[in-house]
Structure 1
Amino acid sequence: MKNNFLFSIALLSGTLGYAQVQKDTIWHDYLDQKTIKENATGYRFIKPISKDKFQVESYSLENVLISKGNTKTDDPNSPKYEGQVIYYQEGGKEMILLNAENGVPTGKVISKLLDGTEYVGEFREGALYDGFLVNEYYDCYSKLEAKDGQFLKATLFSKLNNSYQQVVTFKDNALQLEEVFDANGNLIASLTYDQFAPIEGVKYTFSHKPLSVASIQVYKDSLEIESTSFYSDGKEKIKTKTDGLFKDYTYFNKNGEVIGEFRNDAGYEYESPTYEGTHIEFNYQEGKQDNISQIITYVDNTAVFIRHFDENGILNQTITYREDGFSNSKIEYWNPDGSLKAKIEYAEDGYTPWEGTVFLYNTTSEYKAGELVEETTSYKNGKVFETKKDLKSTYYDKNGKVLGTLTYTKEDGYWSPLNGKSFTMVDDLITDEATYEKGLLKHSINYTISNGKKVLKTESFYENGELVKQITYHNNGEISKEETYRNYEQLFSKFYDSDGKLIGAFDHKNTDGTLLTFFDNDILQSIVKYNNGTKLYEKKYTQDYLDFSLNSLEAPKTYLQSEIDFLKEGKFYSKGELISTVKYKNGAPIEGTVYEDDDYSIVVTNYENGLKEGEEITFSKYDPTTITGRTVYHLGNKVFEETYEERRVTSRIPYENDIYHGEAIFFDENGDELSRLIFQNGEPFEGTRITNLYTSILTQTYKEGTLVSVTDVNIEGVLLYKKTKENEKSKTSSIQVFDDADGSLVYSYEMYEDTNLHGTVSYYENGKLQRQAKVNNGILESGAIAIQFNNYLYNTEETNEASYYTLNKKKNKTQYQLFNESDELLMEYEIKSAKNPTMKTPLFTPFTPDQLYPENDKNNSWRY
């Protein structure tokens, strides 16, 4: 329910209205961005009222008025509501009345229900701060309540007020409790939360057209133990039960008959899930949840057959897989009346179309004996965009006029461009053009899509297939940048403003001149001036992606970030406001606070007398209030460094001569000390390091510079891995690897110098010993061992299905057996001489733990 209840916040905190002033209808998609009619979810009109005032009206595709308000700009990229905004509900009645400033809701907001009930709230900084906000959601209302900037409660209820109510209680803006009441107000279910994760109780999920129960889930100790999903008429659709290891599904039709049973891994213990039976998926679209979307049949954990259905539940495609469950055997396409439309059979590799017809989106392809015979790609209106036949493509516009042709050569069944011009179409618009001569690319054009129209972006020129020149364009069609190349190396660039005026030139080979960069939205990002490799001047801009994330329908705001004369002075800004002035000399900061950023971080560093001094703090670029790291300097030298996760310090490590040195402290999620570890000359020396790996806790103990103990324990307290060394001088370590689920022993062995297997190597299943061998520094001396088969080194026709092999050595004889994944024997022979030069197995290559079979990622030494 998180998304449903908070939907209104996203809607009203920055997506208040965007339109372009024009006489024709402006079609928009579900994000309110301009699009073509075929992709539209609604439309709007803009009517000029005065020079700086325009009225915007938005409608659904069913011609129902959704919202109305005014803007004061005709800029199609950034119009925002100003003043009163009205949102409408069923029957054209007013529902939400609020005021907006520069597109952001502010002040009083009034919500009205169909029965005349009114709720009052207050917006601050684009979010509900106090009171109530009600939003319409199909046949329901969602009511959000806040106080002093904190969400208190959210309620979902029917417009008719004679059905269920779902009430969610918040604490610190996180879900705490979810309750469901019947039409008489009786509590019928409750569920506790930790943040947004269900913990204990019963969860109801609702359909909203009309308000009805879609599913009921039962949670215990954060795990879903059973659930029931329902058809729109209230009859059971799916029932599940979970025993902690597996999740079993039973599917029913509307007559109550079982139509499928399925089992898969519950997702808590095993890395390789179980898939067995018939898995049925239903449509998620509102009003169509009763319709099946696909049925997958599994045998032995492998998908063997899939049936796909359209949104109305009508079969339109079936796929038959080969035994591997990934490669195709054949695909069949079906007409609405159930008759076969076409089919395609695949080659033995399971990926190459062999015989028949392939339908892929708007392209139809005919194959015979693995060769493409004919292919047709169409526009959305059904008219032909490209025909491909007899080693020739012909391209058409939407009116049927020929755009160009391209001929091909064919080699090994593949068509390669020879002469002519190719076109690429996306969403009915041409996005790329390419010209070929004698099989080599000569010229190419790339377009971007903006407001449902194609805009020229780049034009590239080639000689002998090699790029020699590239031109980039502004959105208005003027040249933005010209670049020349030779031998794939960039030589020279020229830069122009949106009026075509030359504003910079740069010699890349000699790093000389003025270099400009632009954001993807064609806005200037930086200007840097060089003199024969020496940076003299830099001016950088930044875009506010936090603002963009709240209001993604327009380009993010651009602000001056810094302006530096590297021989004199640098100035740094926050959202255009000066926050620091720094003295520079010979290209380096001397005195003051420097602000630097990249795509992820903002780093704030203080300089005194040309050296770093005091705190250097790293903040998240996406949340400038969140510290991600802190380092303290004195006279340019690191004193200590702190790491952070989720706004809390996780470690504090001292430095000397710019490397770890001294006693480090590690902290848990509450900020309490976990452990201490002394570093010497950058390496762990004495103590313990405890690391939270999220799914387990890793403990590493060092003595006199040697790692003498490692344990890895999962969050349930099950020991997963243990490594011990008798003392700091020992060359061998003892390893034990345990089962993730029940903690039973799986592997036991030694390692020599933390590299090769050594000593007694034992493998267990369900706690029982299966194989045991004696190994000396990686070389098998006696007993049995299983090793993963390396298909890259040893693959032949008779071993291409091999998964592992076993070696069983007794005295001077070794039995070799090769198996596939199903444990079927593929090959075996006996090696009588320990020095047999024709032996096919890597008997004399030292074995390492990561080669053991069955594979276990805890045998990888890099993990610990």
Structure 2
Amino acid sequence: MNILKKTLNLIVLLTLSTQAQIVKDTLYTNDYYGRSVDRESVEEKYFIVIDKGGKEDGEIAIYEKQGNRLIGKGIGHLENNRLVYQGELVINPYKKNKPIVFYHGENGVLERVKTSDFFTDKEYVMEFKNKDPFHGEVVYSEGSSVIYTKLIQGKYTKTIEVNQADKDNYQVGIYNEEGSLVKKEYVDKQKGIYYEVTYKDCCPVDGTDVGLLKYRGFIVDNVQTYKAGEVVAGESFYSNGQVKQKTEIIGTEKIEETFDKQGNLLGTYRHSFSGDQLIIQREGTYYYFGYGEDRDRITEIMVYKDNKRVKREEVLSQIRGGIHKSVTYYNEYEGIDKIVYYDKENQLISTLNYQHYSPYQGTEYTDNEIVTYQNGKKTDYTKFYYLNNQVFEQHIGNQSTFYDKQGNVIGKASYHIDERGRYKAYSGTVYEIYLNALLNQYRYKDGVLEYRGEYQRNSEESNEDYLKEEVFLVNGIKSKEVQYHKKSHKPKKISYYIPSGSSYRLDRVISYDQEGKEIGTYNYQTKTGTKVLYYTDVDVRSIEKYEDDKLLHRKYYSPKEGNTILFGDDLNAGYYLQSEIDYFKEGTFYDQDGQVLSKAIFKDGRPYDGTIYKNSYGNWQVTPYKQGNKDGVEMIYDKYVKPAYLSEKFYYTKGQLTKKEGFKKEKLISEKHYKDGQVHGIDAEYKLNGDIVYKMEYKEGKPYQGEKLQYYYDYSRLLTYDKGKLIRIDYNQVDENNNYSILIAKDLIDNNRVNRTIYKPNGDFYCKYSLLDYQLDGTCVYYEDNSPKYTASFEKGEFISGTVLFFAPIKDDYYGRWNKEEPTTYTKLQLEGNKIVYQIYDLATNELDYSFSGKIEKANKRLDPFMNQAEIKYSDLYGLTKMNSMFNSLY
């Protein structure tokens, strides 16, 4: 379903109705989710103009930037910085097509799309559900293809992909009634070509599958023939249609032939493999090709002889020093013997000899570096910017010079060789890059690091790097750290440190706003001053004033509605002053428009009287205080002060919590009562329609009468109490709708005895057993078709008679220690009188792996080695899943 949703090109525009950010009534965008791009971006495709703002519907005009061509019109309005379409939205992006019409219902929700046949103008209608295609037919263009798709009640029934230039050249996907692909057909009537392949579980099974290059003229890239799910033959093609490579599998041998564009054989490669596809024999020459526009070019040639790699020829993607290709020769142990480099005219340029698997003498060329070795050691090297001939670092002897992308010198450093033969910076300035971006800067003196600077890109599209952080060191110990604002590149925070032995401790921090103005200094020794805290980006979260570690005053800034930090999508929503508090006098709380929500009295650093508004990232809390205590109803919202986001209510009387309520969609879904700090009274959960999920009466913090539901990762427990005693536990597993509705086990509890029943997911009995003080006691019955199949008797944990199935630990190492891994077998033990049968079965196949039968001569079963090994606990009893081990803890 997601494939169809993503390939419908015009859905890109549709999603603007719920996802896009509007900037000055004009939106520039180029991605599926409608996120805005820079006005001058070369990638942008569309912009949208709103004729009328507010909730009054107005005309929406949609243009294609190139040529300012009008491609669509609709009606809608802006709502909370969202564009909401109403009714029809008509778009015509394809010159050969009739318009595509989107129909929107309430709140701009897409209901259906009408499209027209590329060849016949026949109209198709596709209904949508939850923003996804659901029922009907649709046709759309993608690259050189016209794609037809039909769905019935959310399930695919057929897809057809047609060559735009030739309607008699197409590929068909056929689906079963479950919506799974079962067959693909490829047809080219003019060339008389027909292929078909069957599918199972989304994988080819029998026939020939065709791989197409949709964006290059509906070209067949390759065909592969399958038999019983395995590839037995295949061909790939050049862009001119000539066979590039031909593959055939005969038994355990794979033969691959490679041809040039004129059809001449270039080489043959054979390899034999074992049943698990492990290659065991190699012979011949194998050719590798590039991708995309480079798919016709040979990029690498590998030669094998007598099952050993002897030569590798590679065409380098970046030409350094005139090098076009390299040829690597291998010794008899397949280690590199030497690498020889050639120019485009195949003239020898350099030879790099290896010794003991490492470069020894000569010059090495890679995509981004040229290195010269003498007697196994680096002497000179040159590093380049990524995919760029511009030099980044030139190292000669023990000296390196670093350059920016314009060729200007930005640093020099001297090196020495350490005891392991590696170059280490000794003095000067060293730079590191990642791809084309500056990453780090280091400054050394007499081998000791004095400075480190960390850089960051402004954005993925920008080529500009900015200094993100600087660290200054004295005798190798950090003394100062400077962090910078991302937008203004001015200092954001300067931290000073005091040496402490071989480490350091924080002394004081000075904070600045984006214009470089100081906004606070905090001394960590006296714990006095102004401390500035930030959000995950560069924006200020709070400015706090302290004296002797006592908070005196705080300004708190909250994300505006729509800000990503509160799970919105408006990147430019920003922040606002949410509260300003004098903790010994008064606090004032604001909304995002700057209007006062409330004022409250503070005493001795705590709220005393009034209503407090607090934002804690995703939660918005509104709390009333009287005489220093919470008093009244505390409201918790998921986002801001909106009834639709109400999450919880807490009821307080003079600081004592008396009741807690939970809400969803403004509906009461839970309540819990308290007295003297303990749960006391009703604890209940409700469905949205008001039906009771569970209801329990508590007394002084303990369950007394009713039911209590507890949720776990993939199951729930419903505990039933009667006058303070736990009498029953029902275990439920989640169903396909994620509801805890499948009863899988039930415990009936009477003092220290538990009678447990385990059910199959369809509701049938699986087994029943009884426990006394956590030990098997009484009968254990296994069922088949709800009728008893095996029965065993236990007494205080001891197996007495009958048949029992269990997972037995096996002593499987030299010292006889138990195997702690997941069981792969289960044990069936039968005991009737003095006759014993001990059998072990494979858990996956249910096949018998081991069997023993005999007689017990004496009555003391504890001395029997089989009975002694079969120490059976209820948690080891065999189950369909791991029901018993899941419920080890009874209550």
Identify whether the pair has TM-score above 0.5, normalized to the shorter chain. Answer: yes
> How far is the alpha carbon of 1:801 from its aligned partner?
10
Structure 1 residue 531 corresponds to structure 2 residue 547: yes
Counterpart in the other structure of 2:23:
14
> How far is the alpha carbon of 1:678 from its aligned partner?
2.4
> How far is the alpha carbon of 1:432 from its aligned partner?
3.1
Structure 1 residue 566 corresponds to structure 2 residue 583: yes
Structure 1 residue 460 corresponds to structure 2 residue 394: no
Given that residues 454 and 469 in structure 2 are in contact (C-alpha distance below 8 angstroms), is that contact kept between their aligned partners in structure 1?
yes
Aligned in 2, Cα 1:822/1:282: closer, same or farther, shift over 3 Å?
A: farther
Structure 1 residue 129 corresponds to structure 2 residue 57: yes
Give the whole-Å Cα distance in 2 for the aligned partners of 1:324 and 1:358.
30
Give the whole-Å Cα distance in 1 for the aligned partners of 2:444 and 2:138.
60
Matched residue type, 1:643: G
Give the whole-Å Cα distance in 1 for the aligned partners of 2:91 and 2:211.
24
> How far is the alpha carbon of 1:124 from its aligned partner?
1.8
> How far is the alpha carbon of 1:578 from its aligned partner?
2.2
Counterpart in the other structure of 1:806:
826
Structure 1 residue 341 corresponds to structure 2 residue 300: yes
Question: Which of 205, 210, 227 is 2:158 aligned to?
Answer: 227
Aligned in 2, Cα 1:399/1:713: closer, same or farther, shift over 3 Å?
A: closer
Matched residue type, 1:224: K
Give the whole-Å Cα distance in 2 for the aligned partners of 1:845 and 1:607.
59
Aligned in 2, Cα 1:357/1:807: closer, same or farther, shift over 3 Å?
A: farther
SS at match of 1:123: coil
Give the whole-Å Cα distance in 1 for the aligned partners of 2:450 and 2:484.
19
SS at match of 1:651: strand
Given that residues 803 and 821 in structure 1 are in contact (C-alpha distance below 8 angstroms), is that contact kept between their aligned partners in structure 2?
no
1:169-219 Cα offsets, whole Å, 9 max, x none, are 4234323344556688865444363x43555x3242522668x75241323
> How far is the alpha carbon of 1:163 from its aligned partner?
3.4
| 1:648-687 correspondence to structure 2 within 5 Å | 648-687=667-706
Give the whole-Å Cα distance in 2 for the aligned partners of 1:439 and 1:767.
80
Matched residue type, 1:457: K
Structure 1 residue 729 corresponds to structure 2 residue 751: yes
Given that residues 667 and 674 in structure 1 are in contact (C-alpha distance below 8 angstroms), is that contact kept between their aligned partners in structure 2?
yes
Counterpart in the other structure of 1:40:
none
Question: Which of 426, 436, 439 is 1:431 aligned to?
Answer: 439
Given that residues 282 and 293 in structure 1 are in contact (C-alpha distance below 8 angstroms), is that contact kept between their aligned partners in structure 2?
yes
SS at match of 1:522: coil
Matched residue type, 1:241: Y
> How far is the alpha carbon of 1:568 from its aligned partner?
1.0
SS at match of 1:124: coil
Count how many residue pairs are aligned between Structure 1 and Structure 2: 745
Question: Which of 593, 596, 619 is 1:601 aligned to?
Answer: 619
Give the whole-Å Cα distance in 2 for the aligned partners of 1:187 and 1:508.
73
Counterpart in the other structure of 2:484:
473
> How far is the alpha carbon of 1:395 from its aligned partner?
7.7
Give the whole-Å Cα distance in 1 for the aligned partners of 2:25 and 2:570.
10
Give the whole-Å Cα distance in 2 for the aligned partners of 1:536 and 1:473.
28
| 1:366-765 correspondence to structure 2 within 5 Å | 377=368, 379-383=385-389, 398=405, 425-426=433-434, 428-433=436-441, 444-450=452-458, 452=462, 453-460=464-471, 469-474=480-485, 475-478=488-491, 480-484=493-497, 491-497=506-512, 503-508=519-524, 511-544=527-560, 546=562, 555-575=572-592, 576-621=594-639, 624=642, 626-688=645-707, 701-703=720-722, 704-706=724-726, 707-712=728-733, 714=735, 720-727=742-749, 729=751, 731-739=753-761, 743=762, 748=767, 750=769, 752=771
Given that residues 204 and 213 in structure 1 are in contact (C-alpha distance below 8 angstroms), is that contact kept between their aligned partners in structure 2?
no
SS at match of 2:13: helix
Q: Which has the higher contact order (CA 8 A, sep 6+)?
A: 1
Given that residues 165 and 182 in structure 1 are in contact (C-alpha distance below 8 angstroms), is that contact kept between their aligned partners in structure 2?
no
| 1:322-337 correspondence to structure 2 within 5 Å | 334-335=289-290, 336-337=295-296
Provide structure 1 residue ranges, at least 5 long, that are not aligned to the other structure: 20-28, 35-42, 45-57, 68-86, 88-95, 99-104, 110-121, 266-273, 346-354
SS at match of 1:848: helix
Given that residues 19 and 34 in structure 2 are in contact (C-alpha distance below 8 angstroms), is that contact kept between their aligned partners in structure 1?
no
Give the whole-Å Cα distance in 1 for the aligned partners of 2:843 and 2:452.
49
SS at match of 1:4: helix
Matched residue type, 1:493: R
- Structure 1, 139-148 or 657-666: larger mean CA deviation: 139-148
Given that residues 654 and 662 in structure 1 are in contact (C-alpha distance below 8 angstroms), is that contact kept between their aligned partners in structure 2?
yes
- Structure 1, 816-825 or 518-527: larger mean CA deviation: 816-825
1:43-85 Cα offsets, whole Å, 9 max, x none, are 73xxxxxxxxxxxxx7669xxxx79xxxxxxxxxxxxxxxxxx
CA RMSD of aligned residues (A): 6.6
Give the whole-Å Cα distance in 2 for the aligned partners of 1:842 and 1:508.
64
Counterpart in the other structure of 2:251:
none
Give the whole-Å Cα distance in 2 for the aligned partners of 1:395 and 1:789.
65
Give the whole-Å Cα distance in 2 for the aligned partners of 1:442 and 1:764.
76
> How far is the alpha carbon of 1:661 from its aligned partner?
2.5
Given that residues 5 and 143 in structure 1 are in contact (C-alpha distance below 8 angstroms), is that contact kept between their aligned partners in structure 2?
no
Matched residue type, 2:506: L
SS at match of 1:734: strand
Counterpart in the other structure of 2:75:
145
Counterpart in the other structure of 2:14:
5
> How far is the alpha carbon of 1:638 from its aligned partner?
2.0
1:520-554 Cα offsets, whole Å, 9 max, x none, are 54333212222333222211112326156999786
SS at match of 1:163: coil
Matched residue type, 2:875: T
- Structure 1, 702-711 or 9-18: larger mean CA deviation: 9-18
1:722-772 Cα offsets, whole Å, 9 max, x none, are 322224535325242534xxx375954558589888877788999999999
SS at match of 1:540: strand
Matched residue type, 2:730: S
Matched residue type, 1:480: K
SS at match of 1:381: coil
Given that residues 302 and 324 in structure 1 are in contact (C-alpha distance below 8 angstroms), is that contact kept between their aligned partners in structure 2?
no
SS at match of 1:687: strand
Give the whole-Å Cα distance in 2 for the aligned partners of 1:410 and 1:307.
54
> How far is the alpha carbon of 1:582 from its aligned partner?
0.8
SS at match of 2:824: strand
- Structure 1, 131-140 or 163-172: larger mean CA deviation: 131-140
Given that residues 418 and 438 in structure 1 are in contact (C-alpha distance below 8 angstroms), is that contact kept between their aligned partners in structure 2?
no
Give the whole-Å Cα distance in 2 for the aligned partners of 1:798 and 1:297.
49
Give the whole-Å Cα distance in 1 for the aligned partners of 2:398 and 2:811.
42
Aligned in 2, Cα 1:598/1:814: closer, same or farther, shift over 3 Å?
A: farther
> How far is the alpha carbon of 1:605 from its aligned partner?
0.7
Matched residue type, 2:580: E
Give the whole-Å Cα distance in 2 for the aligned partners of 1:431 and 1:711.
54
> How far is the alpha carbon of 1:592 from its aligned partner?
0.9
Give the whole-Å Cα distance in 2 for the aligned partners of 1:837 and 1:489.
67
Give the whole-Å Cα distance in 2 for the aligned partners of 1:161 and 1:434.
59
Given that residues 778 and 848 in structure 1 are in contact (C-alpha distance below 8 angstroms), is that contact kept between their aligned partners in structure 2?
no
Give the whole-Å Cα distance in 2 for the aligned partners of 1:427 and 1:263.
43
1:448-495 Cα offsets, whole Å, 9 max, x none, are 221522111222357898866533234434362214375878533311
Given that residues 715 and 732 in structure 2 are in contact (C-alpha distance below 8 angstroms), is that contact kept between their aligned partners in structure 1?
no
Give the whole-Å Cα distance in 1 for the aligned partners of 2:399 and 2:313.
19
- Structure 1, 562-571 or 149-158: larger mean CA deviation: 149-158
Counterpart in the other structure of 2:375:
none
Give the whole-Å Cα distance in 2 for the aligned partners of 1:337 and 1:468.
58
Aligned in 2, Cα 1:249/1:135: closer, same or farther, shift over 3 Å?
A: farther
Give the whole-Å Cα distance in 1 for the aligned partners of 2:298 and 2:99.
44
> How far is the alpha carbon of 1:588 from its aligned partner?
0.9
Counterpart in the other structure of 2:345:
none
SS at match of 1:661: strand
Given that residues 239 and 296 in structure 2 are in contact (C-alpha distance below 8 angstroms), is that contact kept between their aligned partners in structure 1?
no
- Structure 1, 306-315 or 715-724: larger mean CA deviation: 306-315
Aligned in 2, Cα 1:805/1:733: closer, same or farther, shift over 3 Å?
A: same
